[in-house]
Structure 1
Amino acid sequence: MPCLYITTNLNLDGIDTDPIFSEATTAISKIIGKPEKFVMVLLKSSVPISFEGNKEPAAYGEIISMGGIDKQVKKKLIDTLGTILQSKLSIPRTRFFLKVFDTTAFPTRSKI
Protein backbone atom coordinates (compact mmCIF):
# COMPACT_ATOMS: atom_id res chain seq x y z
CA MET A 1 0.00 0.00 0.00
CA PRO A 2 1.58 3.31 -1.04
CA CYS A 3 1.22 6.02 1.57
CA LEU A 4 1.88 9.71 0.90
CA TYR A 5 2.27 12.06 3.83
CA ILE A 6 2.41 15.78 3.02
CA THR A 7 3.15 18.48 5.57
CA THR A 8 2.87 22.18 4.70
CA ASN A 9 3.25 25.46 6.51
CA LEU A 10 0.09 26.78 4.88
CA ASN A 11 -3.13 27.09 6.84
CA LEU A 12 -5.64 25.00 4.90
CA ASP A 13 -8.68 25.83 7.02
CA GLY A 14 -11.49 26.68 4.64
CA ILE A 15 -9.57 25.38 1.61
CA ASP A 16 -11.12 22.58 -0.45
CA THR A 17 -8.42 19.91 -0.22
CA ASP A 18 -10.46 17.19 -1.95
CA PRO A 19 -8.80 17.84 -5.34
CA ILE A 20 -5.37 17.37 -3.76
CA PHE A 21 -6.39 14.02 -2.30
CA SER A 22 -8.02 12.77 -5.50
CA GLU A 23 -5.27 13.96 -7.88
CA ALA A 24 -2.48 12.64 -5.65
CA THR A 25 -4.24 9.28 -5.24
CA THR A 26 -4.74 8.88 -8.98
CA ALA A 27 -1.19 9.98 -9.79
CA ILE A 28 0.41 7.63 -7.26
CA SER A 29 -1.73 4.73 -8.45
CA LYS A 30 -0.78 5.27 -12.09
CA ILE A 31 2.91 6.01 -11.49
CA ILE A 32 3.63 3.17 -9.05
CA GLY A 33 1.17 0.76 -10.63
CA LYS A 34 -0.92 -0.02 -7.57
CA PRO A 35 -4.74 0.10 -7.41
CA GLU A 36 -6.20 3.37 -6.08
CA LYS A 37 -7.99 1.46 -3.32
CA PHE A 38 -4.57 0.77 -1.74
CA VAL A 39 -3.27 4.37 -1.87
CA MET A 40 -3.36 6.42 1.34
CA VAL A 41 -2.83 10.20 1.37
CA LEU A 42 -2.38 12.28 4.53
CA LEU A 43 -2.24 16.07 4.52
CA LYS A 44 -1.17 18.10 7.55
CA SER A 45 -1.22 21.89 7.51
CA SER A 46 -0.07 24.81 9.64
CA VAL A 47 3.24 23.17 10.54
CA PRO A 48 6.12 25.62 11.01
CA ILE A 49 8.55 25.03 8.13
CA SER A 50 11.64 27.03 7.29
CA PHE A 51 13.15 26.35 3.87
CA GLU A 52 15.95 28.34 2.27
CA GLY A 53 16.05 30.39 5.46
CA ASN A 54 12.49 31.70 5.19
CA LYS A 55 8.94 30.66 6.02
CA GLU A 56 7.32 31.28 2.63
CA PRO A 57 4.88 28.57 1.43
CA ALA A 58 6.62 25.19 1.41
CA ALA A 59 5.85 21.50 1.79
CA TYR A 60 7.61 18.30 2.79
CA GLY A 61 6.38 14.91 1.72
CA GLU A 62 7.20 11.27 2.29
CA ILE A 63 5.97 8.42 0.16
CA ILE A 64 6.37 4.83 1.22
CA SER A 65 5.50 1.87 -0.97
CA MET A 66 5.92 -1.87 -0.87
CA GLY A 67 7.56 -2.22 -4.28
CA GLY A 68 7.03 -0.38 -7.54
CA ILE A 69 9.62 2.36 -7.01
CA ASP A 70 12.70 2.72 -9.15
CA LYS A 71 14.70 5.74 -10.30
CA GLN A 72 12.24 6.66 -13.08
CA VAL A 73 9.21 6.27 -10.80
CA LYS A 74 10.85 8.39 -8.11
CA LYS A 75 11.53 11.20 -10.57
CA LYS A 76 7.96 11.07 -11.91
CA LEU A 77 6.49 11.13 -8.38
CA ILE A 78 8.53 14.20 -7.42
CA ASP A 79 7.57 16.00 -10.63
CA THR A 80 3.87 15.11 -10.54
CA LEU A 81 3.26 15.73 -6.84
CA GLY A 82 5.19 19.01 -7.04
CA THR A 83 2.93 20.08 -9.90
CA ILE A 84 -0.20 19.20 -7.92
CA LEU A 85 0.94 21.27 -4.91
CA GLN A 86 1.89 24.18 -7.15
CA SER A 87 -1.43 24.20 -9.00
CA LYS A 88 -3.69 23.56 -5.98
CA LEU A 89 -1.86 25.40 -3.17
CA SER A 90 0.53 27.75 -5.02
CA ILE A 91 3.54 26.11 -3.39
CA PRO A 92 6.45 26.56 -5.81
CA ARG A 93 7.90 23.25 -7.01
CA THR A 94 11.30 24.49 -5.79
CA ARG A 95 9.88 24.66 -2.23
CA PHE A 96 8.67 21.05 -2.11
CA PHE A 97 10.87 18.20 -0.91
CA LEU A 98 9.79 14.57 -1.32
CA LYS A 99 11.42 11.61 0.40
CA VAL A 100 10.70 8.36 -1.46
CA PHE A 101 11.05 5.03 0.30
CA ASP A 102 10.49 1.53 -1.07
CA THR A 103 10.17 -1.01 1.73
CA THR A 104 11.23 -3.88 -0.54
CA ALA A 105 14.60 -2.22 -1.17
CA PHE A 106 15.88 -3.63 2.11
CA PRO A 107 16.19 -7.37 2.72
CA THR A 108 14.33 -8.72 5.70
CA ARG A 109 15.85 -11.13 8.15
CA SER A 110 14.01 -14.29 8.95
CA LYS A 111 13.64 -15.26 12.58
CA ILE A 112 15.18 -18.56 13.60
Structure 2
Amino acid sequence: MPCVQIQTNVAYNESDRETILREATKVMVEQAHKNEEAVMVILQKVDGMMGNSSEPMALIDVRSMVGIEHKTNNDISAALTSIMTRVLGVSPYRTYITFLRIPETCWGLMGGIATWQAKTRLWVVNDEPCK
Protein backbone atom coordinates (compact mmCIF):
# COMPACT_ATOMS: atom_id res chain seq x y z
CA MET A 1 0.00 0.00 0.00
CA PRO A 2 2.52 2.57 -1.07
CA CYS A 3 1.78 6.20 -1.78
CA VAL A 4 3.93 8.46 -3.95
CA GLN A 5 3.19 12.15 -3.61
CA ILE A 6 4.87 14.42 -6.15
CA GLN A 7 4.88 18.18 -5.75
CA THR A 8 6.41 20.40 -8.40
CA ASN A 9 6.48 24.07 -9.32
CA VAL A 10 6.32 23.14 -13.02
CA ALA A 11 3.03 23.64 -14.84
CA TYR A 12 2.12 20.44 -16.68
CA ASN A 13 -0.40 19.55 -19.33
CA GLU A 14 -2.84 16.63 -19.32
CA SER A 15 -0.48 14.39 -21.30
CA ASP A 16 2.43 15.06 -18.91
CA ARG A 17 0.15 14.44 -15.92
CA GLU A 18 -0.97 11.09 -17.29
CA THR A 19 2.61 10.08 -18.15
CA ILE A 20 3.94 10.93 -14.69
CA LEU A 21 1.12 9.19 -12.83
CA ARG A 22 1.33 6.02 -14.93
CA GLU A 23 5.14 5.83 -14.94
CA ALA A 24 5.44 6.49 -11.20
CA THR A 25 2.95 3.67 -10.59
CA LYS A 26 5.02 1.40 -12.84
CA VAL A 27 8.15 2.27 -10.85
CA MET A 28 6.51 1.12 -7.62
CA VAL A 29 5.28 -2.09 -9.25
CA GLU A 30 8.60 -2.97 -10.90
CA GLN A 31 11.19 -1.55 -8.49
CA ALA A 32 9.39 -1.96 -5.16
CA HIS A 33 7.44 -5.10 -6.17
CA LYS A 34 4.09 -3.60 -5.13
CA ASN A 35 0.64 -4.68 -6.29
CA GLU A 36 -0.50 -2.15 -8.92
CA GLU A 37 -4.02 -1.98 -7.46
CA ALA A 38 -2.58 -0.78 -4.14
CA VAL A 39 -0.24 1.93 -5.49
CA MET A 40 -1.48 5.50 -5.00
CA VAL A 41 0.24 8.34 -6.87
CA ILE A 42 -0.57 12.00 -6.36
CA LEU A 43 0.75 14.84 -8.53
CA GLN A 44 0.36 18.46 -7.44
CA LYS A 45 1.40 21.77 -8.94
CA VAL A 46 2.63 23.95 -6.07
CA ASP A 47 4.22 27.32 -5.61
CA GLY A 48 7.80 26.83 -4.54
CA MET A 49 11.42 27.84 -4.82
CA MET A 50 14.74 26.16 -4.16
CA GLY A 51 17.89 28.14 -3.50
CA ASN A 52 15.92 31.36 -4.00
CA SER A 53 15.27 30.28 -7.59
CA SER A 54 11.97 29.43 -9.24
CA GLU A 55 13.63 27.07 -11.72
CA PRO A 56 11.88 23.68 -12.02
CA MET A 57 12.01 21.64 -8.83
CA ALA A 58 10.22 18.67 -7.30
CA LEU A 59 9.65 17.14 -3.89
CA ILE A 60 8.64 13.48 -3.93
CA ASP A 61 7.42 11.66 -0.82
CA VAL A 62 7.33 7.84 -0.93
CA ARG A 63 5.47 6.05 1.86
CA SER A 64 5.03 2.34 2.39
CA MET A 65 4.41 -0.23 5.13
CA VAL A 66 7.24 -2.48 3.91
CA GLY A 67 9.98 -2.43 1.30
CA ILE A 68 11.63 0.82 2.39
CA GLU A 69 15.28 -0.19 2.31
CA HIS A 70 18.48 1.20 0.79
CA LYS A 71 18.74 -0.71 -2.52
CA THR A 72 15.04 -0.43 -3.31
CA ASN A 73 14.99 3.26 -2.35
CA ASN A 74 18.02 3.93 -4.56
CA ASP A 75 16.34 2.24 -7.54
CA ILE A 76 13.07 4.10 -6.95
CA SER A 77 14.95 7.39 -6.55
CA ALA A 78 16.77 6.93 -9.86
CA ALA A 79 13.59 6.02 -11.72
CA LEU A 80 11.40 8.81 -10.30
CA THR A 81 14.14 11.40 -10.86
CA SER A 82 14.46 10.24 -14.46
CA ILE A 83 10.70 10.67 -15.00
CA MET A 84 10.74 14.21 -13.62
CA THR A 85 13.76 15.17 -15.74
CA ARG A 86 12.41 13.65 -18.95
CA VAL A 87 8.79 14.78 -18.66
CA LEU A 88 9.04 18.14 -16.87
CA GLY A 89 12.68 19.16 -17.24
CA VAL A 90 13.42 19.08 -13.51
CA SER A 91 17.15 18.78 -12.85
CA PRO A 92 18.20 15.80 -10.70
CA TYR A 93 19.91 18.39 -8.47
CA ARG A 94 16.53 20.02 -7.87
CA THR A 95 14.59 16.84 -7.05
CA TYR A 96 14.35 15.82 -3.40
CA ILE A 97 12.90 12.42 -2.50
CA THR A 98 11.96 11.23 0.98
CA PHE A 99 11.17 7.66 2.00
CA LEU A 100 9.02 6.87 4.99
CA ARG A 101 8.09 3.46 6.36
CA ILE A 102 4.68 3.65 8.00
CA PRO A 103 4.05 0.87 10.55
CA GLU A 104 0.99 -1.16 9.62
CA THR A 105 -0.63 -0.09 12.91
CA CYS A 106 -0.55 3.49 11.54
CA TRP A 107 -1.89 2.83 8.01
CA GLY A 108 -5.65 3.01 7.65
CA LEU A 109 -7.60 1.79 4.65
CA MET A 110 -10.92 0.09 3.96
CA GLY A 111 -12.24 1.69 7.16
CA GLY A 112 -9.70 0.02 9.44
CA ILE A 113 -6.06 -0.77 10.12
CA ALA A 114 -4.17 -3.33 8.03
CA THR A 115 -2.57 -6.40 9.61
CA TRP A 116 -0.30 -8.98 8.00
CA GLN A 117 -1.60 -12.53 8.04
CA ALA A 118 1.50 -14.70 7.75
CA LYS A 119 -0.52 -17.87 7.18
CA THR A 120 -2.31 -16.52 4.10
CA ARG A 121 0.48 -14.04 3.19
CA LEU A 122 -2.11 -11.27 2.78
CA TRP A 123 -2.75 -7.87 4.30
CA VAL A 124 -6.17 -7.91 5.97
CA VAL A 125 -8.48 -5.17 7.28
CA ASN A 126 -11.47 -6.10 9.41
CA ASP A 127 -11.11 -9.75 8.29
CA GLU A 128 -11.18 -8.77 4.58
CA PRO A 129 -8.13 -9.26 2.36
CA CYS A 130 -6.68 -6.10 0.86
CA LYS A 131 -6.22 -5.92 -2.88
TM-score class normalised by the smaller sequence: 0.7 to 0.9
RMSD of aligned Cα (Å): 1.9
> Structure 2: 5+ residue runs without aligned partners?
106-131
Equivalent position amino acid for 1:85 in 2: M
The alignment's TM-score, normalised by the length of structure 2, stands at 0.74
- 1:54 matched to which residue of 2? 53
Distance 1:104 1:76 in 2: 22
Distance 2:18 2:49 in 1: 26
Whose helix fraction is larger, Structure 1's or Structure 2's? 1
- Per chain length, whose mean CA-contact separation is higher, i.e. which structure has more relative contact order (CA < 8 Å, sep 6+)? 1
* Runs of 4+ with deviation above 3 angstroms: none
Q: Which has the larger radius of gyration?
A: 2
What are the residue-to-residue correspondences of 1:55-94 with 2, within 5 Å? Answer: 55-94=54-93
Equivalent position amino acid for 1:100 in 2: F
Q: CA deviation at 1:31?
A: 1.2
Q: CA deviation at 1:11?
A: 1.7
- 2:122 matched to which residue of 1? none
Aligned residues: 105
- 1:30 matched to which residue of 2? 30
Q: CA deviation at 1:105?
A: 9.5
Is 1:11–2:11 an aligned residue pair? Answer: yes
Q: CA deviation at 1:51?
A: 1.0
| Percent of residue pairs identical | 27
Q: Summarize the Cα distance change of 1:94–1:105 in structure 2 as closer, same or farther, 3 Å threshold.
A: farther
Whose strand fraction is larger, Structure 1's or Structure 2's? 2
Q: CA deviation at 1:5?
A: 0.3
The alignment's TM-score, normalised by the length of structure 1, stands at 0.86
